[in-house]
Amino acid sequence: MQASRARLFKEYKEVQREKAVDPDIQLVCDESNIFKWTALVKGPSETPYEGGVFQLAFSVPEQYPLQPPQVRFLTKIFHPNVHFKTGEICLDILKNAWSPAWTLQSVCRAIIALMAHPEPDSPLNCDSGNLLRSGDVRGYQSMARMYTRLAAMSKKG
Amino acid sequence: MQSKEAVVDDGEITSSLNVANSEFDEWNNFGDDDIMQQQYTIQADEAKKVPFVGDKETLSSLAAEYKSGSPILLEKIKVLEEQYAAIRRTRGDGNCFFRSFMFSYLEHIMECQDQAEIDRIQPNIEKSRKALQTLGYADLTFEDFFALFLEQLECVIQGKETSISHEELVIRSRDQSISDYVVMFFRFVTSGEIQMRAEFFEPFILGLTNTTVEQFCKSSVEPMGEESDHVHITALSDALGIPIRVVYLDRSSCDTGGVSVNHHDFMPVAGDLPNASCSSERNIPFITLLYRPGHYDILYPK
């Protein structure tokens, strides 16, 4: 508990210092609980998520950083490796390939990379995965783009 | 209840199935997080049975395990009994090599009050720290693990405020918040060494997994619970400059008749070797591990 707190505090300071370095990621710690974080990540360019801003919720366990944080999308997203209803993410580093070498910030980067490079062979959203697996890239992209517009873009734009 | 166990058995495969197959409605609410939680619970239950590091036992306890097993193994255990006095078991959680190494190393320094060894290893630890920085690791990701190990090194030397007893060393090596941190320290050191000498390790890694060196470190060295192979042992031994003897207990036998037990000494490439046991003999490993396919324990020579 003490160790995880100390580590998270270091990450907090690092995030403040590096804000300008990673303009695509805005990571914020809950004011009253250092084990709860949220992030806003920009959809990578040249993907159907471009132009969207996606909110992620982090729940950090007491065993952190020996155990991974739990992360899910709060913003609806159509992606083979994200559960359409719960926002749960299928990403190895959040499961068995986790190591303390990762930080909350680098997890955000990995999630952005996953958005740009979906892995349809281990889908959490089978409809999305099946479109890609059957080679219907256009179908996948238009669905993903539609949900980006509906859920991840401000209404004004 | 049974369906839950099945989910854990098959890991990720079933986690995708639970969405695909609407027949298993209750699985829809059973996500990866639940599976992870259940895995942690199982690990905690396991923990109650076998500590991270066990008590010293005689080798006859090893023989008892194979009472109705292979006669070759029993023969080999007899040979081992001539050379080795005791065994100390570690938990089979994928960290057994690093955990055995940790205990064996700290216990050696404690028993010999080997301050010279601490002085010798410290520059190597600093070299590892630099290596990780060079490789682009942020300090905050590894520094806590380094600090905790250095603290343990200080504690085993007697006559200081922070000094601990042998009993306390055993307690600490069973305490997850210390033991796992030291294991993780070794994982960082191992990963750094492999990546700094990527050209040397690449062919061995290709033989094991067919991935890049970096990918191998990310998936098979750094995550807790990933088992160690000769690549890990070579890298750790080289990085810290500590020779390691591994004694192999398997069913292999030689044609020449008599049963013998093979061992392999991992000798670091670097020049400055620590002293063996408490004597002045160099180049003989003071860490001896017993390898049985898939698992490492600690051996005590007579």
Q: How many helices (H) and strands (E) does chain A have?
A: 4, 4
Nearest CA in chain A to B140: A10
Q: Touching check for A116 and chain B: CB below 8 Å? A: no
* pLDDT one-digit tens code per residue, A86-125: 999 999 999 989 999 999 999 999 999 999 999 998 889 9
Amino acid B51: pLDDT: 92
CB contact B223 to A (< 8 Å): yes
pLDDT attached to residue A50 = 97
Tokens (6 digits) for B44? 């905690």
Tokens (6 digits) for B299? 């051996």
Residue B259 vs residue A28, higher pLDDT: A28
Q: How far apart are CA B137 and CA B129, in angstroms?
A: 9
Q: Which amino acid is at B287?
A: I
SS3 B174: helix
In chain B, whose CA is at the least distance from the CA of A7?
A: B140
Q: Which of B21, B32, B137 to mutate to test the interface with A (most CBs of A within 10 A)?
A: B32
Residue B243 distance to chain A (closest CA, Å): 27
Taking CB atoms and an 8 Å cutoff, what residues of chain B touch A100? 141-142, 145, 184, 222
Say if CB B231 and CB B171 are below 8 A apart. Answer: no
Catalytic residue among A29, A90, A108, A126: A90
- Catalytic, out of B108, B155, B217, B295: B295
Q: Quick check: B27 contacting A, CB < 8 Å?
A: no
- Provide the CA A14 distance to its chain's centre, in angstroms: 19
Structure tokens at A37: 């974080």
The answer to whether B185 faces chain A, any CB pair under 8 Å, is no
Q: What value does the mean pLDDT take over residues B21-28?
A: 51
Q: Residue B13 above 80 pLDDT?
A: no
Whether A10 and B140 lie within 8 Å, measured CB to CB: yes
Residue A126 a catalytic site member: no
Whether the CB of A117 is below 8 Å from some CB of chain B: the reply is: no
Bridge partners of A58? A37, A71
CB pairs under 8 A between A and B: 72
- The number of beta carbons lying within 10 Å of the beta carbon of residue A71 is 24
Q: What is the pLDDT of residues B267-284, one digit of tens each?
A: 998 655 665 556 545 567
Four-point Cα dihedral B115, B118, B123, B129, nearest 10: -150
B16, B24, B39, B220, best to mutate vs chain A, most A CBs in 10 Å: B16
pTM of structure: 0.88
Q: Hey, is the C-beta of A88 within 8 angstroms of any chain B C-beta?
A: yes
Give me A126's structure tokens. 């089978």
Fill in the amino acid letter for B86: A
| Mean pLDDT value across residues B10-33 | 50
Contacts 24+ apart (CB under 8 A), B185-188: B185/B142, B185/B145, B185/B146, B185/B148, B185/B149, B186/B98, B186/B101, B186/B102, B186/B236, B187/A99, B187/B98, B187/B221, B187/B222, B187/B224, B188/A101, B188/B128, B188/B132, B188/B137, B188/B142, B188/B145, B188/B146, B188/B222
Nearest CA in chain A to B179: A66
Q: Environment class of residue B41 by beta-carbon count within 10 Å: exposed (0-12), middle (13-18) or buried (19+)?
A: exposed
Lowest mean pLDDT segment, chosen from B30-34, B104-108, B111-115, B122-126: B30-34
> What confidence score (pLDDT) does residue B273 get?
61
Taking residues B255-266, report their average pLDDT: 81
The rounded radius of gyration (Å) of the Cα atoms in chain B is: 21
Tell me if B19 and A3 make a contact (CB, 8 A cut-off). no
Q: How close B4 gets to chain A, by Cα (Å)? A: 18
User: In the predicted model, what is the mean pLDDT of chain B?
Assistant: 86
Write down the catalytic residue from B34, B93, B175, B250. Answer: B93
| Predicted pLDDT of residue B35 | 78
Q: Which residue of A has its CA nearest to B35?
A: A95
pLDDT at A1: 65
Helix ranges, chain A (H): 2-17, 104-116, 126-133, 137-152
Catalytic annotation present for B229? no
Q: Report the C-alpha gap between A91 and A87 in whole angstroms.
A: 12
ipTM: 0.91
